[in-house]
Structure 1
Amino acid sequence: MKQKFQSERLGTEPIPKLLRSLSIPAIIGMVVMALYNVIDTIFISYGVGISAVAGVTISFPLMMIMMAISAAMGIGGASVISRRLGEKNEKEANQVFGNVLTIIILLSVVGVIGAFTFLEPVLILFGATPDILPYAIDYMFPILLATLFFTFSFATNSIIRSEGNARFAMMAMIIPSVLNIILDAVFIFGLNMGVKGAAYATVISQAIASAMVIQYFISGNSTLSLKIADFKLKLKLVKEIILVGLPAFVQQAAGSVMMIAINVMLIRYGGEFYVGVFGIIQRIIMMSFMPMAGVMQGMQPIVGYNYGANNFARLRQTVLLSLKIVTVISFGVFLIVMMFPAFLMSIFTSDAAVIEAGADSMRVMFAAVFLIGIQIISSGLYQALGKAKLALILSLSRQFIFLIPLVLILPHFFGTTGVWLAFPIADFFSFVLAFYLLYRHRKTFLKGETDESKSKSIDYKEPTHSSM
């Protein structure tokens, strides 16, 4: 009964209370998770140096590809599971879960093979110079060997949230993140293992997260269940998982391509020093975006469940409240960065040149960050509804359609400043696109009047044929 209540409350509990109960754990978990990346960078910066930070930054796009795969499987599976639970179709929800796990296992094999074959050539392609290549290899080799832990823990976290159990999802992020921070200090400073120590700390923490999640599912605390029969791949379900999760993959993969483009242009026009500076700023960006992403993740199971249950009034209320919250958060981020950029940089390094360069760069990069909230919410909204095409467009918009071309063009005219200028310009254009799409479909989200309610049963089963 308790497990069933976890999902059924998505359709009955007051929206403000429900969104708060789902978003706050997601925000806490994601902030703590981002915090270990921040502390990781701080430890590497102070314990090894800015060149090591540059090496980790160069390798980060490869890690982002791993996270992209996890996000695609997790968010795609979670969206389908939420809607199946809303329809009271628990049998197929379990089949979706089993198929997600099978895909994760198969993809993990590719990661292990990659550690021994294409790691070094890929890092060189990403822009690694002879000076920073050893740091990048030391960091990524152990992580690729542990691909299964990363993909499993990240993907299943989204699935746990899809059934309304945000508290455990939060703990499954917080506990390994705290452990990672402790192990970072032990390995980097206590055992003098450098960048390799940071990688080992991350691998061990993700292995612990995976063990926690397995225990959660086999103990009967979940609405879902692990059954061997459900691991058999079903083409229809795999197609739906991939199509709905594709926008999340593209968004993360575009982030990886974006990082590569930025690193290459910074090395060309500024040198390895600016790659290290950007590596620090990237961590600050992650921390500032996490609260908004947490609201979006708290919103998604509510939207998916009530869409499946045909309750458009609750869907509408959830979307509007989420938009209000992320707007306030994004303005707060803007004000903090504009007022205290040097202080934020000084947390990571005592190097005056790095602090000065980073502070100037941050003010430019965050100039339009107050517009980003609507883009995050709208992308998550269409993912939760199973609207794969629209979610894909929004996921591509900021990083791939706008940011990457700007990063490749502007430095030819403005040097490294052109890289920083690309961010606010891309933020503005992605805001315009997200606003347009929400306005275009305002009847669904503001009035609850839509023809989709009549044809939705077809739409959510075949998201590629969406009328939206």
Structure 2
Amino acid sequence: MTTINPIETRPLKPLFLSYLFPAMVGMLLMSVNILVDGIFVSHGVGPTALAGVNIAVPIFSILLSISLWIGMGGATLYSISFGEGNKKRAHQIFTLAFTVMIVVVLTLILLLLLNLKEISYIFGASDATYPYVQEYLHVILIFGVFYTIENLLSIFIRNDGNPKLAMMGLITTSVINIILNYIFIFVFNYGVTGCALATALSTIIGMSVLCLHFFRKQSELRFVRNFFSISDLKKIFSIGLPSFIVEASVAVMVILYNVTFLHYLGSNGVTAYAMVNYIHTVLLTVFLGIGMALQPLVSYHHGARLVTRLTALLKIGTATALIFGLTTAIIAMLFPSQLMALFGDSTFEIRNLASQGFVHFAIGYVFLGINMVYAEFFQSIEKIRLATSIMLLRSIILFIPTLVLLPKILGPQAIWWTFPVAEGITALLIYCYIRKRPQTFSSSSMLNQKN
């Protein structure tokens, strides 16, 4: 006898909200860890150290991108398998994703540690900032595998019907990180090393909280022996590719922004962008949280062939993203100086440059959420080419030429317009595609096509 999962019959709006709040809070707190690092370093060490940590963030983002790539790819297949009623395959996919991620991350960390100085300078370090980059990354990389495990577990636990525990694990990490940052920087005077240690130790504690899920009676996460499958591995990497592009492109965009600001506005421009980027990192994860909430529900309904509820979920996700996008842009435009004041130890010139730039930069949030929702939706129903195209458009194909051309044509201040222009054009192209090809959302298309 086949039992019907409550997820198939529960009203969609309350169902979505039950995933949205924990996902957004969890992702927000995950990014707050990076923001907290910036605030404590800025106040406790200085603006040069802040610039150094910001240069190190893209390397940190590479580790996160690996865990998102394998985690989102695996979790999507995991939920689809449950929607199809195939628990055995779901267990195999979880074990495969976890094992492969550990191997990939450990290999990457070793390569980064062996070539740390060269990579740091490629990413925008200078003789003044490199000591801080090295100090921060040396600790972060040694403990980096725990950070990726925490992220992968939170994704799978959310897909296993326990979004609240996924949120609690990340809340624990964030709170402990704030406490340890204060102790290590202001009490023990450990500087940037203390900041990195706070991040590493809080991550281990948060990961331990997530492991409580394995003792839950309703838990379906299982490690099994016979798990390796080349076809499943290919699907994990294929489905997770858009998530990898999201995070990996963050690293690329930060590097390109750093290089461009350094060229046009010098070290003051780099520091001003570092301040804006810390705020942006937090806001970006809010929009990622909307996609994270959508993914388990869309993947399950896709596996269960519930197309009417799928299209309704897309509408709910799009409306939510638009509301958050408009609200975020308005707040950022009304209170830019107050947001930049979080980074206290900087000159008036730098704070003014960052505040004025953020007013223009923030317009991009109106379009960012919509782009994220559509990419996540297509990824969750295995239309990988569409999802990948959206992510490449906003982060590489449109971003790079816009970043190169705008300051040349309109002057250095136009650098801040790169983000809203790239996101806005991407959203317009999505709209045109939907108008031109409405069959993309037909029942037969969503059930049968995977690319």
With the length of structure 2 as denominator, give the TM-score of the two structures.
0.95
AA of the residue aligned to 2:239: V
Conserved 8 A contact 2:439-2:445: no
The root-mean-square deviation of aligned C-alpha atoms, in Å, is 1.9
- TM-superposed deviation, 1:407: 1.6
- TM-superposed deviation, 1:300: 1.1
Match of 1:195 in 2: 192
Conserved 8 A contact 2:434-2:440: no
Q: Percent identity?
A: 29
Match of 2:237 in 1: 242
Deviations 1:19-50 (A, max 9, x none): 00000011111222222222221111111111
- Larger deviation, residues 10-19 vs 399-408: 399-408
**Secondary structure of the residue that 2:363 maps to in structure 1?**
coil
Q: Distance in 2 between matches of 1:155 and 1:193?
A: 30
AA of the residue aligned to 2:156: I
Match of 1:157 in 2: 154
Taking structure 1 as reference, are residues 310 and 27 closer, same or farther at Cα in structure 2, changes over 3 Å only?
Answer: same
Match of 2:84 in 1: 87
Match of 1:387 in 2: 383
Match of 1:254 in 2: 249
Conserved 8 A contact 2:291-2:372: yes
Which runs of 5 or more residues in structure 2 are unaligned?
Answer: none
Taking structure 1 as reference, are residues 158 and 442 closer, same or farther at Cα in structure 2, changes over 3 Å only?
Answer: farther
- TM-superposed deviation, 1:336: 0.8
2:45 is the counterpart of 1:45: no
Conserved 8 A contact 1:398-1:427: yes
Q: Distance in 1 between matches of 2:206 and 2:432?
A: 40
Matches within 5 A, 1:1-400: 8-217=5-214, 220-230=217-227, 233-351=228-346, 352-400=348-396
Deviations 1:66-85 (A, max 9, x none): 11101101111111111001
Deviations 1:316-361 (A, max 9, x none): 1111011111111111111111111111111222532222111111
With the length of structure 1 as denominator, give the TM-score of the two structures.
0.91
- Larger deviation, residues 39-48 vs 283-292: 283-292
Match of 1:422 in 2: 418
- TM-superposed deviation, 1:218: 5.2
- Number of residue-to-residue matches in the alignment: 449
AA of the residue aligned to 1:357: L
Q: Distance in 1 between matches of 2:318 and 2:355?
A: 29
Deviations 1:339-393 (A, max 9, x none): 1111111122253222211111101112342122210100110111111111111
Q: Distance in 1 between matches of 2:138 and 2:410?
A: 36
AA of the residue aligned to 2:375: S
Match of 2:399 in 1: 403
AA of the residue aligned to 2:349: A
- TM-superposed deviation, 1:51: 0.7
AA of the residue aligned to 2:376: G
Conserved 8 A contact 1:54-1:273: no
AA of the residue aligned to 1:373: G
Q: Distance in 1 between matches of 2:284 and 2:125?
A: 27
Taking structure 1 as reference, are residues 193 and 438 closer, same or farther at Cα in structure 2, changes over 3 Å only?
Answer: farther
Conserved 8 A contact 1:111-1:145: no
Deviations 1:237-267 (A, max 9, x none): 1000000001111222122111111111111
Taking structure 1 as reference, are residues 38 and 116 closer, same or farther at Cα in structure 2, changes over 3 Å only?
Answer: closer
**Secondary structure of the residue that 1:210 maps to in structure 2?**
helix
Deviations 1:71-114 (A, max 9, x none): 10111111111100100101001110000111111113213413
- Larger deviation, residues 239-248 vs 277-286: 277-286
Which runs of 5 or more residues in structure 1 are unaligned?
Answer: none
- TM-superposed deviation, 1:415: 4.6
AA of the residue aligned to 2:305: N
2:444 is the counterpart of 1:450: yes
Conserved 8 A contact 1:374-1:434: no
- TM-superposed deviation, 1:163: 2.2
Taking structure 1 as reference, are residues 441 and 291 closer, same or farther at Cα in structure 2, changes over 3 Å only?
Answer: farther
Deviations 1:198-220 (A, max 9, x none): 11111111112222333422555
Taking structure 1 as reference, are residues 80 and 45 closer, same or farther at Cα in structure 2, changes over 3 Å only?
Answer: same
Taking structure 1 as reference, are residues 21 and 424 closer, same or farther at Cα in structure 2, changes over 3 Å only?
Answer: same
Taking structure 1 as reference, are residues 119 and 81 closer, same or farther at Cα in structure 2, changes over 3 Å only?
Answer: same
Taking structure 1 as reference, are residues 439 and 177 closer, same or farther at Cα in structure 2, changes over 3 Å only?
Answer: farther
Q: Distance in 2 between matches of 1:221 and 1:150?
A: 25
Conserved 8 A contact 2:63-2:105: no
Taking structure 1 as reference, are residues 293 and 439 closer, same or farther at Cα in structure 2, changes over 3 Å only?
Answer: farther
- TM-superposed deviation, 1:62: 0.8
Q: Distance in 2 between matches of 1:136 and 1:12?
A: 51
AA of the residue aligned to 1:298: A
Taking structure 1 as reference, are residues 209 and 290 closer, same or farther at Cα in structure 2, changes over 3 Å only?
Answer: same
Conserved 8 A contact 2:46-2:345: no
Q: Distance in 2 between matches of 1:112 and 1:290?
A: 24
- TM-superposed deviation, 1:443: 4.4
- Larger deviation, residues 251-260 vs 110-119: 110-119
